[in-house]
Amino acid sequence: MDDQKEIVVSSKKFRNKSIVAFIVFFIAIAAGVFAWKWLQRQPQVAGVQKPLRKGLSLDEKVFSKALSDKHLAKTYPVSAAAKNVRFNGDVGLRSPLDSNWKLKVVRSPGDTLFISLDDIKALPKTDITFDFKCIEGWSQISNWSGVKFSDFAKKYNLGLQTQMNYVGLTTPDNKYYVGIDMASMMHPQTLLCYEMNGKPLPLNQGYPLRLIIPVKYGIKSLKRIGTIFFSSTPPPDYWYERGYDYYSGL
Ligand SMILES: Nc1nc2c(c(=O)[nH]1)N[C@H]1C(S)=C(S)[C@@H](COP(=O)(O)O)O[C@H]1N2
Ligand SMILES: [Mo]
């Protein structure tokens, strides 16, 4: 009958498919063994075979480029922001603040802009509520506002400067300093920040101006910016010099 015929055909197909599957399976095993033996013969780079090291380096590249520079840090509603914001670290904040503070932006040696807080406040304002993470193990959802560094760079015609690889920031007394890769500095969530919870920054939180860079650990969010400069090589970094990761990306 028609039905039975169909069953016979299906089981034939089934058998053929099984045979093909077994052949593919054995070829895959042979290929795996061959690849493994080949890998064992490869020269080593920094403790692992070169092709594996290449994989690791590629991973690193993908993570640092695609994740930390382009991905957005998770944001929260303003209502989730802490009212009593933790403060941590006062390196570079111990000397009294100069009442004539102006932000120094070194465009090139001998060409420095001096920018007042009012001028910075006149630029487009953005705010962000995110989970601020300290490398010491605490984190806190907090709210910050200021101007995106990318907007600031546009307004002050820093096109040439932002083609360099790094930005360096220091406190007015040069006691705290960080280096930041340009992609992270130009990231849309990176702010030159002058308000916390909608009010001027408290002194211990970096008044008059601090960096807020949600794609990095807190160590990079330098408080009380004195000078910003640009560099093709990694600028000095306070915590890097004390054994932490230069990149410190999240
Ligand atoms: N000038 C200066 N900025 C600094 C620090 C510091 O010691 N001095 N500490 C950093 C560290 S380790 C963290 S976690 C954050 C903490 O920011 P907060 O004090 O606003 O919480 O500031 C960063 N910026
Ligand atoms: Mo920190």
Question: Do the domain assignments include residue 18?
Answer: no
Question: Do the domain assignments include residue 10?
Answer: no
Q: Is the CB of 161 under 6 A from ligand 1?
A: no
For the chain, how many structural domains are there in total? 1
Find the length of the chain: 250
Rounded distance, CA 232 to CA 167, Å?
Answer: 9
Question: Do the domain assignments include residue 50?
Answer: no
Q: Is the CB of 248 under 6 A from ligand 1?
A: no
Q: Is the CB of 82 under 6 A from ligand 1?
A: no
Q: How far is the CA of 91 from the centre of ligand 1 (A)?
A: 8
Instruction: Please state whether the predicted TM-score (pTM) of the whole model is above 0.85.
Output: no
Domain range for 232:
66-85+101-242
Question: Do the domain assignments include residue 3?
Answer: no
Q: Please enumerate in sequence order all residues whose Cβ is within 8 A of that of 62, keeping only pairs 6 or more positions apart, or say none.
A: none
Q: What is the CATH number of the domain that holds 141?
A: 3.90.420.10
CA dihedral angle for residue 224, residue 238, residue 109, residue 188, rounded to 10 degrees: -60
What's at 232, amino acid-wise? S
Question: Do the domain assignments include residue 9?
Answer: no
Q: Is the CB of 97 under 6 A from ligand 1?
A: no
Nearest CA to ligand 1 atom 23: 219
Question: Do the domain assignments include residue 156?
Answer: yes
Nearest CA to ligand 1 atom 21: 87
Question: Do the domain assignments include residue 22?
Answer: no
Ligand number nearest CA of 91 is 1
What's at 27, amino acid-wise? I
Q: Is the CB of 146 under 6 A from ligand 1?
A: no
From first to last of its 250 residues, the chain has per-residue pLDDT tens of 444 555 555 666 656 666 667 566 656 756 766 666 766 777 665 455 677 656 655 655 555 555 555 699 999 999 999 999 999 999 999 999 999 999 999 999 999 999 999 999 999 999 999 999 999 999 999 999 999 999 999 999 999 999 999 999 999 999 999 999 999 999 999 999 999 999 999 999 999 999 999 999 999 999 999 999 999 999 999 999 999 999 999 9
Question: Do the domain assignments include residue 186?
Answer: yes
Nearest CA to ligand 1 atom 9: 89
